[in-house]
A and B are shown apart, each in its own frame.
Chain A
Amino acid sequence: MNFKQFALGTAVAVALGSSGFVQQAAAEDSNYIPLLTYRTGPYAGSGIPIANGMSDYFAMLNERDGGIGGVKLNVEECETGYNAQKGVECYEATKGKGALVYNPYSTGITLQLIPKASVDKIPVLSMGYGLSAAADGNVFPWIFNAPDTYWDGASVVIKYIAHQEGGLDKLKGKKIGYLFLDAGYGREPIPLLEDLAKKYGFELLQYPVPGKEMQNQSSQWLNVRRDRPDYMVMWGWGAMNPTAVKEAVKTRFPMDRFIGVWWSAGDDDAAAGGAGAKGYKAMNFSGVGTEYPAIQDIVKYVIDAGKSETDKAMVGSTLYNRGVLNAMMVAEAIRTAQEKTGKKVLTGEDMRIGLESLDLTAERLKEIGLDGFAHPMKITCEDHAGSEPVFIQQWDGAKWNKITDWFEPMTDVVRPLLEAAAKDYAEKNAPWPARTEPCPN
């Protein structure tokens, strides 16, 4: 075998091993949904359950209902490896196939797609991640981040800590540590946390974790040990989460004072810490478990029918169900867009109308078999985030348990800051297009 043959063999092996699935080509009689997923690389641990949850929900709709409104869903995955450059490549490769909406599953990719969305007229749904300021629909008509922005999440976690301490006034003098992936994602809530620190008088201690050091966090946790924060808040992803939980256990940090964002709420993340991880908390906005009729339908029509490669044990886990929630929001936006436009096969522009008119009431959630799975949510032209309540869950050593009722974000504090940040973004990226899209509500 010469070098050329070897190189060719390697290229084929890489393509086979890491290209993800390439499913059906876009068809004119279907609604095309590209999924930017990552089943490979350092973030695959978080990416796989989410990708499975999304794919399986869409597959279930196709199998059970024949799609949405009688039109099949044509779902195609494109592997990004959580890499912004690859994410943009996936976007460019799929946008011409009639993409309805993009779910980048990366704040880095989302930031790259924001300027493209209004040009290509394809909405981006960064569900609970991405640029917080994009919640201002007047500035970002094509970007959606319901049900919550990172700033909403940061405000909830501070509110929860205050609740534990006996009130917001009790935060004065406290030390709150913030352990974050040193990337666009982890840095996103810092402005709000700094603002809240000033407002309520607590000290914010920052512990950045470079992407290359995700599995080597002993320095960060030594600093935690020295600084003795009263609480630790984590914005982690991929391999960073289980490592942080292990290090927290190792450092003997009180786990019931360690709270992760909803992306640090995976079952594997907490389980990595073994028995010592008991007590670890995380925010969440999607149900856990398989007792929901829609999840049961996924098992019946997709998993048991052998139409998915998802391990049955994964169904119902936090991140799998998060993928289901994301897919459900897309599906409901399609349904809404079909009602609003009278069309069955949609375009990106139709999808934006569907998203801006999305009103998931408790009754509707019950109707689709997800009663209590998520808080009712409503997106409007002005508010693309909804800033819906979230709850806190706690790891009992074997599974997550919901330990609080729904917690409202501090919208009174967050919303003006979001609007100011949106204005600032538009000014810094001038000439930012003024909204011309009519409001469907």
Chain B
Amino acid sequence: MLYDIFIDPFVQMVTMPDFFLQVLWEGFVTGILYALIALGFVLIFKASGVFNFAQGIMVVFAGLTLVGLHEHGIPAYLALLLTIVVMGILAYGIERVVMRPLVNQPDIILLMATIGLTYFLVGFGEFVFGGEPKQMIAEQLGLPTGSTAFEMGERGLVILQHIDIAAALIAIIMVTALAIFFNKTRIGRALRAVADDHQAALSVGISLNQIWAIVWFAAGLVALATGIMWGARSDVSFALEIVAFKALPVLILGGFTSIPGAIIGGLIIGFGEKIGEIYWGGLVGGGIESWLAYIIALIFLLFRPQGLFGEKIIERV
């Protein structure tokens, strides 16, 4: 037993390096996708201090809108553009109908509102698009398909899916763009002010409504990118909403307010759960990755309760 826990996994990593590389690659891609989902949560949290329970269903909603529009004969790129418009309208609607009436309410009220929003979007999405899963229009959007295999040694093989490479690149571009937008622009600074204190931000002339609409729109764009990438890996269905909650341990780990935290947290969870499942999962019958991510996050929390990059808030009495 001790051999199986402490020796055998490392022997496997050394004797099958191609397979180990494949595990690392899968961990990297999964981690990047988790980071993308987590990013949506971080944006809303930064702006309103609330955990957006609806982020998962926004991923599904954005994906379904894109595919649904294309199914109605709209060309892929136009459908993509229209989906962005839809996410913009949704963001405006959420700000106008949900957020604005709740300014300065306790965070728990805002959380409850996002839970309500989740159920509304589930019902509305099923009403408009039906419950059937749909295939993502990855090819029509010009996303690459197929794979490239690299031989290693006599029997070794590392397979890289082109869609996974594209997912990683798109995630990196989105994260960089958002980081620049929120750190180097006036809106970004205004957003941080809003996150710190709604009333104080209002008192210095920052439009809370405008900031919230922008942030929800940005979260919608992230949701769209996530929906396209996860949808291309499986399909676009309401089951994706569950996958989106894999971002929770990422947020615990990276901190709820940090964009770099979402990225690093996503990668740690991605690598951790793949390596854990492949090399140690078999010892307990497999299927451990659904909870292993939380164990990893909790271990980190023991040492950094605010998460890796979270803001350490010290309240003095």
Using CB atoms and an 8 Å cutoff, list the residues of chain A in contact with chain B. 1-3, 6-7, 9-11, 13-18, 38-45, 47-48, 182, 206-216, 218-220, 222-223, 225-226, 238-239, 242-243, 246, 250-252, 268, 271-272, 274
Assess whether A238 is in contact with B239, with CB atoms less than 8 Å apart. yes
Judged by a CB distance under 8 angstroms, whether B75 is at the interface is no
For residue A237, give the distance in angstroms from its CB to the closest CB of chain B: 11
Per a CB cutoff under 8 Å, which of A40, A206, A210 touches B131? A40
How would residues 112 to 131 of chain B score, 1 for a CB under 8 Å from any chain A CB and 0 otherwise?
A: 11001101101111110011
Assess whether A252 is in contact with B159, with CB atoms less than 8 Å apart. yes
Per a CB cutoff under 8 Å, which of B26, B113, B123, B245 touches A17? B123
Judged by a CB distance under 8 angstroms, whether B233 is at the interface is yes
Report if A246-B234 is in contact (Cβ < 8 Å); known contacts: A18-B122, A212-B242, A252-B159. Answer: yes
For residue A39, give the distance in angstroms from its CB to the closest CB of chain B: 5
Report if A216-B132 is in contact (Cβ < 8 Å); known contacts: A207-B286, A250-B161. Answer: no
Contacts of B246 in A (CB 8 A): 212, 216
A208 and B285 alpha carbons, distance in the complex (Å): 8
A408 and B174 alpha carbons, distance in the complex (Å): 56
Assess whether A210 is in contact with B287, with CB atoms less than 8 Å apart. yes
Closest to A244 in B: B234
Assess whether A1 is in contact with B97, with CB atoms less than 8 Å apart. yes
A238 and B239 alpha carbons, distance in the complex (Å): 9
Assess whether B113 is in contact with A42, with CB atoms less than 8 Å apart. no
A51 and B229 alpha carbons, distance in the complex (Å): 30
Per a CB cutoff under 8 Å, which of A215, A219, A251 touches B277? A219
A7 and B26 alpha carbons, distance in the complex (Å): 41
For residue A178, give the distance in angstroms from its CB to the closest CB of chain B: 11
Chain A interface SS verdict (over half): helix
Assess whether B243 is in contact with A210, with CB atoms less than 8 Å apart. no
Assess whether B274 is in contact with A206, with CB atoms less than 8 Å apart. no
Per a CB cutoff under 8 Å, which of A17, A45, A214 touches B127? A17
Report if A215-B239 is in contact (Cβ < 8 Å); known contacts: A17-B124, A223-B282. Answer: yes
Contacts of A17 in B (CB 8 A): 122-127
A252 and B147 alpha carbons, distance in the complex (Å): 10
Report if A215-B102 is in contact (Cβ < 8 Å); known contacts: A41-B131, A45-B133, A223-B286. Answer: no
| Known A42-B242, A48-B132; 13 more pairs at CB < 8 Å | A14-B120, A14-B123, A17-B123, A42-B238, A182-B287, A208-B285, A210-B289, A215-B240, A216-B243, A219-B273, A219-B277, A226-B12, A242-B234
Which of B15-23, B194-202, B303-311 contacts its partner?
A: B15-23
Contacts of B19 in A (CB 8 A): 222, 225-226
Contacts of A48 in B (CB 8 A): 130-132
Judged by a CB distance under 8 angstroms, whether B144 is at the interface is no
Assess whether B286 is in contact with A16, with CB atoms less than 8 Å apart. no
Assess whether A3 is in contact with B290, with CB atoms less than 8 Å apart. no
A15 and B240 alpha carbons, distance in the complex (Å): 21
Report if A3-B274 is in contact (Cβ < 8 Å); known contacts: A48-B132, A218-B26, A242-B133. Answer: no
Assess whether B234 is in contact with A215, with CB atoms less than 8 Å apart. yes
B12, B112, B273, B287, most chain A CB atoms within 10 A: B287
